[in-house]
Structure 1
Amino acid sequence: MCSNLIDNLINICHLNHLLESIDEIYIRNQILALLNEPEFVDPPIGTLSLNLYETLEKLCDIAVERNIIEDNLSSRDIFSSNIMNKFLDKPSIINDKFFDLYVNSPKSATDWFYDMSKNSNYIKVDRIAKNKSYIVNSPYGNLEITINLSKPEKDPKQIMLEKSAPTNKYPRCLLCLENEGYNGTIKLPDRANHRVIRTMLNNREWAIQYSPYLYYNEHCIVLSAEHVPMQITKDTFKTLLDFTSFLPHYFIGSNADLPIVGGSILAHEHYQGGNYIFPMQTAKEIFKFRLETHKSVKGSVLHWPLSTIRLSSLNVYELTDACNVIFESWKNYSDKGCNILSHTNGVPHNTITPICRRNGQFYEMDLVLRNNRTTEEHPLGIFHPHKEVQHIKKENIGLIEVMGLAILPGRLLTELEDIKEYILGKEEAKVAQYHQDWATELKQRYNPSSNLDKFIIQELGNKFTTVLEHAGVFKLDEQGIDCFKNFISTI
């Protein structure tokens, strides 16, 4: 059976362009060594009807039976990544291949790197396929919802092992370059089959990788080669614009650099990008404006729940400067009527979430105004999901949510089924306490002649819409738009 599985894996990887015929004997022997198998027995004619992920699972089963690895998620992932690493070239060769393709077309280079990352099981395609995705209506256009089921639940044994394991100081963080090829531990993810593309952006070294649990097409992470903290500065805009010159078919954006409104790892400077059109990109305009000092730059305010300025220009230098002028103005802007204070006792509250893309020949930058001030009424943030929607989304509103894609916890799938049973009046229905008020409201409003599944998903979408509205500093009512215009007039 062991030889059968190895042969099947080699055939799959051959079809996925991860090896040439001349490599087969070498890779076979490498995998035999991992399994403590001294010899290879020619399998019977015909191949197994197992895909890549099923084959790796079976090989992990053998490793467990032979006491090569422990039978837990972390050990199995580490072992399967070590197997797939045998099919991959060293980083220098992968970078050479990428840039050889890049000469002809940036898209062909990313297509190749993306396929390689999927075919080597670095991107967990089989787990991502478990996610549930929906399109919902909103006053701002369609929004997207993903219920995240891709990350397997840890069993109690795994949790206990993680708690008792020593804290690692290497790699320094999950985004550091030291993760490339790192074996992994019970606490740190498997990265033996992890590769990055090195490039220079804005006169600094960066690395491009894909997210193992991507949330949209070609979801990539662009990380600083140095372990430096997140900080929005004029250089941020230069870097984002430089990236869209390097890969013009990709967007790129940054989480804000302050707690509460920063939805990601703030200790290591990084951005997220990819080949995807988010709902925010197609938002309509409320009004347009021009900056007298930046004649080539067109500006507009979007009809979007988070307060968003869109700037567009053919001139990268003027666009960079215009972004920085708006950012510097916003950092020190206060409007007590809208609960916006730039500082409290010298502590800053205002920052932005910047998002950059190409629109034909034009460079386009969205500047989403953020504020992280808290009060007794809103201890998690005034411009953060308020208490009445936290049963759906309590976490920080990061870059992906800002652009109109909700990433919601897997628990919701079961909880929504419970709510459906409650609406239908089933006696055994048990609704989580934090959903009870919402479930009662839905039961009162549900029309039995309508489709219950569609009703529930749309109501979930309505909650997400409210989450985004709470995060907007200038509300899209008459007063809020007037206040937004007042801010624009100060630039």
Structure 2
Amino acid sequence: MTINQLIQQLIDEGNRLRMIKQEDEIYIRNRILSLLKLDTFSIEEKTEPFSTLNGSKVDEDLIIVELVESIVEYATREKLIDDYFDEKEIFSAKLIDCFLSRPSEVNEKFWQDYRQSPKKATDEFYHFSKLSNYIQMKRIKRNIFFQVPTEYGALDITINLSKPEKDPRQIALERSVPKEKEYPRCLLCIENEGYAGRIGHPARSNHRTIRIPMGEETWYFQYSPYVYYNEHCILLSEEHRKMKISRETFERLLRFVEQFPHYFMGSNADLPIVGGSILSHDHYQGGRYEFPMASAKSDYNFKLKQFPNISASTVKWPMSVIRLQSQDKDELVEASDFILNRWKEYSDPEIGIMAYSNNTPHNTITPIARRKGRDFEVDLVLRNNRTDEKHPLGIFHPHEDVHHIKKENIGLIEVMGLAVLPARLKDEVQEVEKYLRNEPNEIADYHLPWAMEIKNKYGTFHKNEIHKIIQNEIGMKFLKVLSDAGVFKRNEKGQKAFQKFISFLNK
């Protein structure tokens, strides 16, 4: 296809998807020509609708993406942009931005849809975020996903292949760029909306957010560019400030699920090791997905003396979870804040829980809010980030025997039962499978004890079973990861200690 044909196909596809109106066609074409430094255009012989690429059929949802990528390839060949990942991403986002409404128009449509139903509003905005390629659906489809049955229900496992690896030239270029720039201040700041991007900072020309009132503040609602589950969304503060779990956190989480009852909303913990990857900007994560932890049953029901109208229980889960239920949102806020403050000051040296080292705090909570019919439900996952000589990365953190599978922090998503595992595992696991089939292999040294353990566990097995066995064993490693992160272990000593803490709440 010629560049003129590609441009026209892109415009035709924008019309088909109702991203633009026919009256916009000439204006958008001229914007694209400007980006491509072209000053003429001729409507050539019509081509068939763009449905194949290199002989392969293109997913209808990805036609826009494929066309944009073809135009980016043209721009690279013509030396309009450098052949670096970030340069191509910036150009791609600018192309798609030609088809997108301004933030004010996107927000106006969202709240018009909301008046019909909250679900319609999020459905339409999610669809928009995929069409705009802000949600990187083509890359997300590369991820490997499977479930593994356990005594706590099925755990979700994903090997994250969606974030492309940067070539050495790109990495070297990033290192050469001065770091003093502070705009936007971080990847979550609202200043990213419409920001072109630069080397080392992602392209955001095609980024739009929804303004959500949260008491006296305005918060900003968007979807994650690399969604790990259905409608994986982010709610972020307008102010660039550090993560902090507080009474206001519970108020915001519950206010959000009151406005959007088909979504859950939760927060990473606010301390290093047990927190998420970005603690510099106050934000929450939610979506429309039933996580394994949400399906977990109550383990032990109890009453909170100060909050007699609230149903409270511990949860049958490898981590230590208190679940609160009530139709009274305000009382849930008070109860959650009460438990947070009690937990922050709680120590039990017999099981390694110390609230402070000198003046450094160690206890915090990972909270999750959702609706269950007319009830509001809050899960409070108790966390502690203390370290010692034996566990320098964290006592209640994945221990060394699981680092070959998962070494990173256990944040909100993992807490709820979805393992986000590194891309390296895709190839490494194939070498483990070869080892188990007694074939020539390049198994990594750090996987060898695990592979030998699997051989000893299963003895002889059919070669066709190996892939499924490896998946199940990865799931068992993730279960161990969650157990390591639990402050009250799922044994007699740990559960007695949990009961002791519950008694402390009622003193």
Q: TM-score normalised to the size of structure 2? A: 0.95
Give how far 1:87 is off: 0.7
Deviations, residues 11-64 of structure 1 (Å, cap 9, x unaligned): 222222211111111111111111112222213233333522221111011111
Q: 1:291 aligns to what?
A: 304
Give how far 1:154 is off: 0.7
Q: Please show how residues 141-152 of structure 1 align to structure 2 within 5 Å.
A: 141-152=153-164
Q: Which amino acid aligns with 2:89?
A: D
Q: 2:378 aligns to what?
A: 365
C-alpha distance in 2 between matches for 1:64 and 1:476: 56
C-alpha distance in 2 between matches for 1:15 and 1:371: 52
Query: 2:198 aligns to what SS in structure 1?
Result: coil
C-alpha distance in 2 between matches for 1:312 and 1:485: 19
Q: 1:48 aligns to what?
A: 50
Q: 2:476 aligns to what?
A: 462
Query: 2:91 aligns to what SS in structure 1?
Result: helix
In the alignment, structure 1 residue 226 sits paired with structure 2 residue 239 = yes
Q: Which amino acid aligns with 1:284?
A: K
In the alignment, structure 1 residue 305 sits paired with structure 2 residue 306 = no
Q: 1:473 aligns to what?
A: 487
Q: TM-score normalised to the size of structure 1? A: 0.98
C-alpha distance in 2 between matches for 1:43 and 1:354: 58
Contact 1:7 1:43 survives alignment (8 Å):
no
Query: 1:159 aligns to what SS in structure 2?
Result: helix
Q: Select 2:69's aligned residue among 43, 53, 57.
A: 57
Q: Which amino acid aligns with 1:269?
A: D
Q: Which amino acid aligns with 1:136?
A: V
Q: Please show how residues 76-225 of structure 1 align to structure 2 within 5 Å.
A: 76-167=88-179, 168-225=181-238
Contact 1:350 1:370 survives alignment (8 Å):
yes
Q: Which amino acid aligns with 1:48?
A: F
Deviation >3 Å, runs of 4+: none
Give unpaired runs (5+ residues) of structure 1.
none
Contact 1:296 1:314 survives alignment (8 Å):
no
C-alpha distance in 2 between matches for 1:417 and 1:47: 39
Deviations, residues 121-152 of structure 1 (Å, cap 9, x unaligned): 11100000000000001121100000000011
C-alpha distance in 2 between matches for 1:487 and 1:177: 40
In the alignment, structure 1 residue 334 sits paired with structure 2 residue 347 = yes
C-alpha distance in 2 between matches for 1:203 and 1:406: 36
Q: Which amino acid aligns with 2:500?
A: N
Q: Work out the percentage of aligned pairs sharing the same amino acid.
A: 51
Query: 2:379 aligns to what SS in structure 1?
Result: strand
Q: 1:250 aligns to what?
A: 263
In the alignment, structure 1 residue 69 sits paired with structure 2 residue 81 = yes
Contact 1:127 1:149 survives alignment (8 Å):
yes
Q: Which amino acid aligns with 1:391?
A: H
Q: Which amino acid aligns with 1:411?
A: R
C-alpha distance in 2 between matches for 1:223 and 1:242: 14
C-alpha distance in 2 between matches for 1:10 and 1:399: 40
Deviations, residues 204-259 of structure 1 (Å, cap 9, x unaligned): 11000111111001111100000111011111100111111121111000000000
Deviations, residues 255-275 of structure 1 (Å, cap 9, x unaligned): 000000002211110000111
C-alpha distance in 1 between matches for 2:325 and 2:208: 34
Task: Give the paired residue count.
Answer: 490
Contact 1:280 1:403 survives alignment (8 Å):
yes
Q: 1:485 aligns to what?
A: 499
In the alignment, structure 1 residue 452 sits paired with structure 2 residue 466 = yes
Give how far 1:201 is off: 1.1
C-alpha distance in 1 between matches for 2:315 and 2:183: 43
C-alpha distance in 2 between matches for 1:9 and 1:297: 55
Answer with 195-204 or 387-396: which moved more: 195-204
In the alignment, structure 1 residue 375 sits paired with structure 2 residue 388 = yes
Deviations, residues 257-315 of structure 1 (Å, cap 9, x unaligned): 00000022111100001111100000011110111221221101001011000001000
Contact 1:220 1:274 survives alignment (8 Å):
yes
Contact 1:224 1:270 survives alignment (8 Å):
yes
C-alpha distance in 1 between matches for 2:34 and 2:362: 56
C-alpha distance in 2 between matches for 1:343 and 1:114: 43
Q: 1:439 aligns to what?
A: 451
Deviations, residues 381-413 of structure 1 (Å, cap 9, x unaligned): 110000100111111000000000000011101
Give unpaired runs (5+ residues) of structure 2.
53-62
Contact 1:4 1:48 survives alignment (8 Å):
no
C-alpha distance in 2 between matches for 1:337 and 1:136: 33
